[in-house]
Structure 1
Amino acid sequence: MIETIRNIWSIEDLRKRILYTFGLIFVYRIGSFIILPGINPALLTLQNAQKGLLGLFDMFAGGSFSRASIFALGIMPYISASIAMQLLTIAVPSFAKLQKEGESGQKRINQYTRWLTVIVTAFQALAYVTYLRQQSGAAILPQFSPFFFAFSTIVVLTAGTLFVMWLGEKITDKGIGNGASIIIEIGILARLPHALVAEFNAKNTSGGGGLLIFLIEIAFLVLVVMGLVVLVQGTRKVPVNYAKRMVGTRQIGGVRQFLPLKVNAAGVMPIIFAQAIMFIPMTVVGFTNPESQTGGFIRALSDYTSFWYNLIYGFMVIIFTYFYTALIFNPTQIADEMKRNNGFIPGVKPGKPTAEFIGSIMDRITLPGAFFLAIVGILPGFAHALGVNTVFASFFGGTSLLIIVGVILDTLQQIESQLLMRHYDGLMKSGRIAGRAAQMTTT
């Protein structure tokens, strides 16, 4: 490990990229503690911002949402705009054509994404102003008129999100790893030290072998992380042969390669979609009679430790895994690309039979991946039901842990590529780190 770190530090370009990334992350963390103009932080009370859907948003923003900082909306509006543009490139032919135009088309898509980010951020900032007035109106300084406070807050929040988006793009261009993903990951990891200390204190003061229980929880967390690494890196390699052809005096092709099909091609999106829908009962609870049978059922769905919540939530994760995989994975396009490059799967005819063969394999490997992803999604509820505090329980699975594992693997894969490109040993003596970016490029 020491030799690997020395090799990383000896590469000037890699060293500059890592230091540049840490510098921009430091700027982001400083900005997350700068309070919005016109708010008295001593009177700010946004306790419910750490629960339910708002708690998920606050986790992605690194706690900026509950602190009412200038980065309160974080990078999530940009992520939402990027997802919307990704879906448009699949559903709308004009955007699909634009995506196939190469670098020029990608630049236009990026520009549309930025403009859409401004619109989404402005709407979310207006909603955030309303939320501040309802939950902590006493914290707003009286010398700020309602209109001026709303206008200044919307401008500052929009500028803050655009600045965070710019930081993410700079990390991607001049740093190491995917900038937007790293910013989200840093926001999630910022809560980990506090969660560990709180859980340690709770178990240590409870007596009766509390410290041993804490060590067991850490060991179980390590096992969950190892399982997630297998899920993120798991692939089914389909052999592909390429026919020999002559280009000038050179012979090209005639080699066997592999088409890596990911077990979890949908990533974290099924969990995010399922969580967004499962937060609806929490909103409906306030409008139902708690004594009625319907109200009791809805309240059961709003409790993420209940049986019905975990059953429906796990089922929705499985459904959304198949749905999102169908959106982003196009076996017909892969079969056409193979046919154009004189590639074929042994024993399968090119064209439609190849597409059907790839699609059938993807359906089979998606099923165990979807079930494992559903288990990962409901693990925080089980951890909380077994006595783990709410913040620390969120690291036992769900969105937070899946994002952390995926982003770290992507970043390590880029570092390993830089080492191997300069004839150094990789991060591992045996095997390779197969991040999501590498697998997508190979596909």
Structure 2
Amino acid sequence: MSTRQEQVEKLLGNKKGFGELKSRILFVIGALIVYRMGTFLPVPGVNPKVLADLLQQNSGGILDMFNMFSGGALGRYSIFALGVMPYITASIIMQILGHTVPTLREMKKEGETGKRKITQYTRYFTIVLAAFQSYGISFSLMQLGAVGNVPVVPMPGFGFLFTATVSLTGGTMFLMWLGEQITERGIGNGISLLIFAGIVVGLPGAVYSVFTSIAEGQMNALVGLLLLVISLGVTAFIVFVERGQRRITMQFARRGGRQATQAQTSYLPLKVNMSGVIPVIFASSLVLLPSSIASFAGQNEGFGWLQDLAAQLSPGNTLYMVLFGTLIVFFAYFYTALTFNSDETADNLKKQSAVIPGIRPGKQTSAYLDGVLNRVTFWGSLYLLGVSLMPDLIRGFVSVPFALGGTSLLIVVVVAMDFMAQLQNHLVSQQYDSVMKKSNIKNYRRSSKIRR
């Protein structure tokens, strides 16, 4: 009897089921709380009030946007002031090098071992970038001197530079580790969720600033209502396009004995925006940080041209929109090419005896998929470009008292949709496991009765 109970318990497992899903959700919540707490840990040696006044004087530019992506950490100059942007920049460069450097190309073919090596190189490169950027921003703050009669850095020197560089670099490395832990032990992409959390925490303040502007008469109530309608409309449009697909009809040849039976028809779905929110995040990381350093360094005597460059790279300016839009289109095609291999897909279809009507298997199928994918990616990149830059165009006609724009709205909606999709996949997987366990138990009991 005891042996039978042990076998039944073995079939049931340790009752993970929804308990595992609950633990994953709690881990994500706990990690985001830790991230939020870290944005309030200041780097030693900086006067936070003077720094806040400095950001207020330069409000409405690139610094506001960078501060939004870091969850307000830059405004407080906390240990998480750089956020995950150095890691994203390192990932971009390593992915580009992976297609151009023969050694890295061969390493990618080694499977899991090569992937771990490239991930390790990305981490090392992140340390180098974070240290360089931390030193640049800290040195620029130290050179600012004083705002009024109060210095931004009360005790400038090597001690402050060393402490600030180590603190900011360590904060970025901790966020990189935290993002990897969320991906492995939680739900969704950890890095994307950290950026998502940094943006979402600014939503209540943005809503409050709109209501305050309306109450004080600085903004017309109709303009506020228009902003609400536009935000809801853009959100609905993002959801609609993200669910859009280009379905390619396929026919699978089915055989029974020596005679071929009727072919089974299916389809290959190609998303309109196959690259997701990655092009926007990549483009933002490549535009925000250099312009932020230029903005700080431009405060020094003799470097006024850097201040002019930072102003041109601020949202709403022509140079910013051209550079940002070009990077979005480039990364839309680049990341789509990384995630979808037409040659490999064509080979898999051939192995499964699947053909696209009117297209011969092999190279012609691969060329056809490339053509369809290029056309779909073109419209997907235009969609990303329009959603990201539309608020900058609207801001030229309507004064908006916050930095929340199309880029941040796109990231929030897409990351939320991805999180919900993965959550549903976990639920379906747990239900499937539960059904299989019940079926195994029934089969075991039935076989036990037969043996009796």
Using the size of structure 2 for normalisation, the TM-score is 0.76
Return the alpha-carbon distance in structure 1 between the equivalents of residues 19 and 43 of structure 2: 39
Using the TM superposition, give the Cα deviation of residue 170 of structure 1 relative to its aligned residue in structure 2, in angstroms: 1.2
Name the counterpart of 1:139: 152
Q: CA 1:350 to 1:94, structure 2 compared with 1: closer, same or farther past 3 Å?
A: farther
Is 2:112 aligned against 1:103? Answer: yes
Q: Secondary structure at the match of 1:14?
A: helix
CA shift, 1:207, in A, is 8.1
- Give the letter aligned to residue 139 of structure 1: V
Task: Judge conservation of contact 1:60–1:76 (CA < 8 Å) in 2.
Answer: no
Q: CA RMSD in A?
A: 3.5
Cα distance in structure 2, aligned partners of 1:335 and 1:182: 34
Could you say what secondary structure the match of 2:402 adopts? helix
Matched AA of 2:305: F
Deviation at 1:244, TM superposition (A): 4.8
Q: Quote how far apart the aligned CAs of 1:36 are.
A: 0.4
The aligned amino acid for 1:407 is V
The answer to whether the 8 Å contact 1:274/1:317 transfers is: yes
Q: List runs of 5+ in structure 1 lacking aligned partners.
A: 1-9, 247-253, 289-294, 425-443
Q: Does 1:34 align with 2:41?
A: yes
**Pairwise CA distance, 1:317:** 6.2
Deviation, 1:211, is 3.3
| Cα distance in 2 between the residues matched to 1:166 and 1:408 | 21
Amino acid at match of 1:30: M
Return the match for 1:181 from 192, 216, 220.
192
Distance change >3 Å, CA 65–CA 402, structure 1 → 2: same
Letter of the 1:316 counterpart:
T
Of 32-41 and 262-271, the range deviating more from structure 2: 262-271
Q: Describe the superposition over 1:141-193 as per-residue Cα deviations: whole angstroms up to 9, x where unpaired.
A: 33xx6112111211111111111111111111111211110001111112111
Q: Secondary structure at the match of 1:239?
A: strand
Which residue does the alignment assign to 1:222? 232
Name the structure 1 match of 2:375: 364
Describe the shift of the 1:30–1:301 C-alpha distance in structure 2 as closer, same or farther (beyond 3 A): closer
| Partner residue of 2:101 out of 87, 92, 108 | 92
The alpha-carbon deviation at position 269 of structure 1 amounts to: 5.0
2: CA distance, partners of 1:179 / 1:274: 19
Aligned counterpart for 1:16 among listed residues 20, 23, 30: 23
Kindly provide the amino acid, as one letter, of the partner of residue 431 in structure 2. Answer: H
For residues 16-37 of structure 1, the C-alpha deviation after alignment (integer angstroms, 9 at most, x for no partner) is 1111111111111111011101
> Given residue 19 of structure 2, which amino acid in structure 1 is its aligned partner?
E
SS state of the match for residue 240, structure 1? Answer: strand
**Residue 239 of structure 1 contacts residue 345 of structure 1 at CA under 8 Å; is this kept in 2?**
yes
Is 1:113 paired with 2:122? Answer: yes
> Structure 1 CA distance, aligned partners of 2:97 and 2:21?
35
**Number of equivalent positions:** 396
Distance (whole Å) between structure 2 residues aligned to residue 95 and residue 40 of structure 1? 45
- Alpha-carbon distance between aligned partners in 1 of 2:145 and 2:76, rounded to the nearest angstrom: 11
- Shift in alpha-carbon separation, 1:182–1:36, aligned structure 2, 3 A: same
Query: TM-score with structure 1 length normalisation?
Result: 0.78
Contact 1:50 1:56 in 2 (8 A): no
**What is residue 416 of structure 2 aligned with on the other side?**
408
Decide whether the 8 Å contact of 1:62 with 1:187 is kept in 2: yes
Decide whether the 8 Å contact of 2:274 with 2:336 is kept in 1. Answer: no
Alignment of 1:211 onto 2:218: no
With over 3 angstroms needed to count, the CA separation of the structure-2 counterparts of 1:377 and 1:286, relative to structure 1, is farther
Alpha-carbon separation, structure 1, partners of 2:351 and 2:59: 52
Q: What is the 5 A alignment of 1:243-262?
A: 243-244=253-254, 256-262=265-271
1:172 aligns with one of 183, 194, 219: 183
How far off is 1:40 after superposition? 2.8
Q: CA deviation at 1:332?
A: 2.8
SS of the equivalent of 1:349 reads coil
SS in 1 for 2:35: helix
Give the CA deviation at 1:38.
2.0
Match of 2:69 among 33, 51, 60: 60
Q: Which has the higher contact order (CA 8 A, sep 6+)?
A: 2
Give per-residue Cα distances to partners, 1:43-72, cap 9 Å, x unaligned: 334416755444433222112122110111
Instruction: Deviation per CA, 1:98-132: give whole Å up to 9, x if none.
Output: 33333222222221211111111111111111122
1:287 aligns with 305
Quote the Cα distance in structure 2 between the aligned partners of 1:27 and 1:311.
35
Q: Is the 8 A contact 1:269 1:324 kept in 2?
A: no
Note the C-alpha offset of 1:318: 7.3
What letter matches 2:245 in structure 1? T
Tell me the residue number matched to 1:237: 247
CA distance in 2, matches of 1:326, 1:412: 22
- The letter for the 2-side match of 1:260 is P
Shift of 1:270: 4.7
Q: Higher mean Cα deviation, 133-142 or 47-56?
A: 47-56
- Match in the other structure for 1:334: 345
Measure how far apart 1:82 and its partner are: 1.6
Moved more, 129-138 or 114-123: 129-138
